[in-house]
């Protein structure tokens, strides 16, 4: 159950990022994946 809830939260966050930044899918997915390893799944700061 907790795993499902976490997946749903991540899905909402990803779709929010998709609307907000409109980056290529693999780019922001890899950013989220990298950020979540240190507990910070925030938006990328290094995109221009």
Span 3-46, pLDDT tens digits:
677 777 777 777 776 666 665 666 666 665 555 555 454 555 55
pTM of the predicted model as reported, rounded to 2 decimal places: 0.26
Q: 31: exposed, middle or buried (C-beta count within 10 Å: 0-12, 13-18, 19+)? A: buried
**Distance (Å, whole) CA 6 – CA 27:** 21
Domain ranges of the chain: 2-37
């Amino acid at each position: 159950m907790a795993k499902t809830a976490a997946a749903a939260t991540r899905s909402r966050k990803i779709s929010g990022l998709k609307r907000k930044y409109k980056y290529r899918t693999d780019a922001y997915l890899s950013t989220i994946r990298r950020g979540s390893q240190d507990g910070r799944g925030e938006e990328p700061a290094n995109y221009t």
